[in-house]
Structure formats: C-alpha cells, structure tokens
Amino acid sequence: MLNYFLSMLMLVFAIASIIAGIFTAYFGSGKSRGVGAVLIIIGLIVGVLFLWFSGVLGFMGEPIYSWAGKDIVVNSIVAVVGAVIGALIALGIFLLAIMKA
C-alpha cells in the first residue's frame, strides 16, 4: 500500500509541478518566470526519479529503493488520467452552471 502511495505522490507532484511551472513561466513576469522554470525543473527531476524507482529507466542502474515495478507505473498513470478526466468533467459542469446562471 505504501508503494502505491509513494508512486502516486511522486507522479502527481511531478505532473502538477510541470503544469504549474509552464503556466507560471508563460503568464508570469519578472521573477515569477524564474519560479516557473524552477518548478518545471523540479517536476522533471521528480518525474525521472519516479521512473527510476519503478525500474523503467534501467540504464541509470539499480535504484536505492524500488517498488514493485512497471505494473505500479501503469496503475499510477491510469489512476492519474482517470482523476484528471474526472476533474475536467467536474470543472466543465461547474463552468457551464456558472455561465448559465
């Protein structure tokens, strides 16, 4: 159970950091663009660590800690995609309700 928690934590953190960094770098100005770049870099590093710990990146050597492997990666990605689709549907319904009111 802890393996799923850690894998989901790292995967969602990486995706959220990259997306937040892209928006911050694109729409920000001055120092906030630098913060956006740092968020993108942090997200990429955590994403690579996620893939390394899961055993997908074999050329990097054996990870210090390894969870069950590629099956957790697939399950994690499917769960995140499902969560994102659900959130987008909810956001769409919310915006539709706001615009009709």
Torsion over CA: 29, 19, 4, 80 (sign): positive
pTM given for the model: 0.67
Print pLDDT tens along the chain (101 aa). Answer: 667 777 778 888 898 899 888 988 888 888 888 888 999 999 999 988 888 777 777 776 666 666 656 677 777 778 888 888 888 888 888 888 878 76
Tokens of 74: 């697939």
Q: What is the pLDDT of residue 40?
A: 94
**Rounded Cα gap, residues 86 and 38, in angstroms:** 28
| Ranges of each domain in the chain | 2-100
